[in-house]
Structure 1
Amino acid sequence: MIDRLSQGLLFITLRLGRMLLVILVVLVGTFLLLRLAPGDPALTMASAAGLDDPAYVERLRHEMGLDRPLPSQLASYLGGVLQGDLGFSHRNQTAVWALIAERLPATLLLLLSAFVLSSVAGIGLGVLAASSRQRSGRLDRVVGVVALLLYATPAFWLALLLVILFSIALGVLPAFGMESVGAGLRGWAHAWDVAQHLLLPCVSLSFVFLAVYVQLTRSAMLEAFTQDFVRTARAKGASEQRVLLAHVLRNALLPVTTYAGLQLGQLASASLLVEVVYAWPGIGRLLYESLEARDYPLLLGVFLVISVLVLLGNLISELCCYLADPRLASGGAQ
Structure 2
Amino acid sequence: MKSYIVRRLLLMIPMLVGASLLIFVVFAMTPGDFVDTNPKLTLERAQELRTLYGLDKPVLERYFIWLGNLLTGNLGYSMQYQEPVSDLLGKFIWNSFLIAVVSMILTWTIALVVGVFSAVKQYSWFDGLVTLGVFAAMSFPSFFLGLLMIKIFAVDFGWLPPGGITNTGSQTVGWARVWEMAHHMILPVTVLTLLSVGSLTRYFRTNMLEVIRRDFVRTARAKGLKERVVLFKHALRNALLPAITLLGFELPGLFAGAIITEKIFHWPGAGYIYFGALSVRDYPVLMGFTMFLALLTVLGNLLADLLYGVADPRIRLK
Structure 2 counterpart of 1:151, one-letter code: M
Give me the CA root mean square deviation. 1.6
Q: Normalising to structure 2: TM-score of the pair?
A: 0.95
2:23 aligns with: 30
| Structure-1 separation of matches of 2:76 and 2:222 | 65
The Cα of 1:43 is off from its aligned counterpart by 3.4
For each residue in 1:165-216, what CA deviation from the matched residue of structure 2 results, as whole angstroms up to 9, or x when unmatched?
Answer: 0000001101111111212011111111101111100110111221122111
For each residue in 1:11-48, what CA deviation from the matched residue of structure 2 results, as whole angstroms up to 9, or x when unmatched?
Answer: 3234323433332122111212222222242232x43x
Describe how 1:81-96 pairs up with structure 2 within 5 A.
81-96=70-85
| Structure-2 separation of matches of 1:306 and 1:53 | 37
Kindly tell me the number of residue pairs found equivalent between the two proteins.
Answer: 318
Contact 1:127 1:221 in 2 (8 A): yes
Bigger CA drift: 139-148 or 56-65? 139-148
Contact 1:132 1:140 in 2 (8 A): yes
Q: Normalising to structure 1: TM-score of the pair?
A: 0.90
Contact 1:80 1:87 in 2 (8 A): yes
2:51 aligns with: 62
1:78 aligns with: 67
| Structure-2 separation of matches of 1:241 and 1:39 | 60
Describe how 1:180-195 pairs up with structure 2 within 5 A.
180-195=167-182
Contact 1:209 1:263 in 2 (8 A): no
The Cα of 1:10 is off from its aligned counterpart by 4.0
Describe how 1:234-253 pairs up with structure 2 within 5 A.
234-253=221-240
Structure 1 counterpart of 2:95, one-letter code: A
Gaps of 5+ in 2: none
Structure 2 counterpart of 1:211, one-letter code: G
Q: Moved runs in structure 1, 4+ residues, more than 4 A? A: none
| Structure-1 separation of matches of 2:235 and 2:178 | 38
Gaps of 5+ in 1: 1-7
Structure 2 counterpart of 1:267, one-letter code: L
For each residue in 1:238-262, what CA deviation from the matched residue of structure 2 results, as whole angstroms up to 9, or x when unmatched?
Answer: 1111111111111111122222222
Contact 1:30 1:300 in 2 (8 A): yes
Structure 2 counterpart of 1:38, one-letter code: P
Contact 1:156 1:274 in 2 (8 A): yes
Contact 2:33 2:282 in 1 (8 A): no
2:87 aligns with: 98
The Cα of 1:110 is off from its aligned counterpart by 1.1
143, 151, 176: which one aligns with 1:164: 151
Contact 2:240 2:311 in 1 (8 A): no
Structure 2 counterpart of 1:66, one-letter code: L
Contact 2:208 2:235 in 1 (8 A): yes
